[in-house]
Amino acid sequence: MDGVILVTGSTGFIGSRMVDTLVRQGQRVRVLLRPESRSASLPGYRKDVEEVRAAYGDREALGRAVSGVASIIHLAGVTKAVDEAGFAEGNVTPVENLLEAVKRHNPGLRRFLLVSSLAAMGPASSPSPGVRESDRPSPVSAYGRSKLLGEEAARRHAGSVPLTIVRPPAVYGPGDRDILEVFTMMKKGYLLSAGPGKRQRFSMIHVDDLIHGILLALDSEAAVGQDYFITSPRGYAWDEVVAAARPVLGFRRLLRINLPKPLVFGLGAVLGSVAKLTGRPALINQDKANELVQDYWVCSPEKAERELGFTAGISLEKGVAETLVWYKQQGWL
């Protein structure tokens, strides 16, 4: 990976870990920060990281950001928005504008790596092997549809910009606040799940494994024009996550509450309507409810194993324990 690597979304959970990893590897890193972003959110290597500020609608500033870099890892995006337009603004427009800037200001770019999401493909019909890259996309939420539209926007430029797409499932690890909510419930002695909790299976990936897979894809010439699930070896059940958390959290009994689908959809409808009135994203809306009640958020690791040599190296037990210890050290849990 010779040359400067531009990372977007560098102040987020995955992005900050990515910058940290690249700097420790001795890579030259440039980060694209929105005008309102705070540099203090970056890792403790700021003297080694070049910062360029640009709004995704500012063509001139985007041109400065992409000029002279060898590759781009596009991690920036939104997971919560009030409506489809909000998701498009965060997950589609930035892809389009970045690639237009690359075509004008850096036509020799070696790679544009787009980090998308399993949500762009939708859930699987069975827990094994899960969704494959060759399957037909069937997103079930506005978020998933926006990530798919972002992929399609990137592919429209694939003839002139070397493109690779990576789709992670649920990502966890030190610094993540989404799965923290799950472990906070467990510490209090209960766990809420939506729909058929005993039946559900889901892929997960530790953030460090994800970064390893992304960098393998970035460095592989065979990955140009390809898309990959960077994921766990198999889908997990809630019972396995509970068992992994128990030694660190120390609970003896856990009250499992599976919310019926009609109740989940009802909550989503009410809270979604409130969000539209207030203009603030809700914890759950109808789209999120539709994601939560699916049986199998599982994707297959086969293609990444075969073509990239990637296998997740951090077990669920080790990854969950490490994450929980970090949460405790930070006073989050």
pLDDT per residue over 191-225, tens digit each? 988 876 678 999 999 999 999 999 999 999 999 99
Q: Which domain holds residue 29?
A: 4-174+201-237+296-312
Least confident of 48-52, 126-130, 238-242, 274-278: 274-278
Least confident of 85-89, 117-121, 269-273: 269-273
227 DSSP β-pair partners: 165
Distance between CA 3 and CA 312 in Å, rounded?
A: 27
* Residue 121 near residue 135, CB atoms below 8 Å: yes
Distance between CA 299 and CA 119 in Å, rounded?
A: 10
* Amino acid code (one letter) for 45: Y
Q: What is the pLDDT of residue 29?
A: 96
Residue 104 resides in a domain? yes
Both tokens of residue 297? 């958020």
Check residues 39 and 214 and name the one with the higher pLDDT. Answer: 214
What CATH number is associated with residue 219? 3.40.50.720
How many domains are there within the chain?
1
Residue 9 resides in a domain? yes
Determine the Cα angle at 198 with ends 265 and 229, to 5°: 80
Q: What is the pLDDT of residue 273?
A: 67
Distance between CA 242 and CA 160 in Å, rounded?
A: 47
- Kindly report whether the peptide bond that precedes residue 127 is cis, defined as omega within 30 degrees of 0: no
Distance between CA 30 and CA 50 in Å, rounded?
A: 4
Give the mean pLDDT of 283-295: 78
pTM: 0.93
Determine the Cα angle at 152 with ends 147 and 153, to 5°: 95
Using the predicted structure, report yes or no on whether residue 328 has a pLDDT greater than 60.
Answer: yes
Residue 231 resides in a domain? yes
Q: What is the pLDDT of residue 233?
A: 96
CA distances from 23 to 116, 141, 295 (A): 23, 36, 39
Q: What is the pLDDT of residue 291?
A: 83
Residue 328 resides in a domain? no
pLDDT tens figures, 1-13: 679 999 999 999 9
Residue 157 resides in a domain? yes
pLDDT band at 41 (very low <50, low <70, confident <90, very high): low
Q: What is the pLDDT of residue 282?
A: 61
Q: What is the pLDDT of residue 258?
A: 83
pLDDT tens figures, 238-267: 999 999 999 999 998 999 888 877 777 676
* Residue 33 near residue 55, CB atoms below 8 Å: no
Q: What is the pLDDT of residue 147?
A: 98
Q: What is the pLDDT of residue 1?
A: 66
Average pLDDT, the chain: 91
Residue 216 resides in a domain? yes
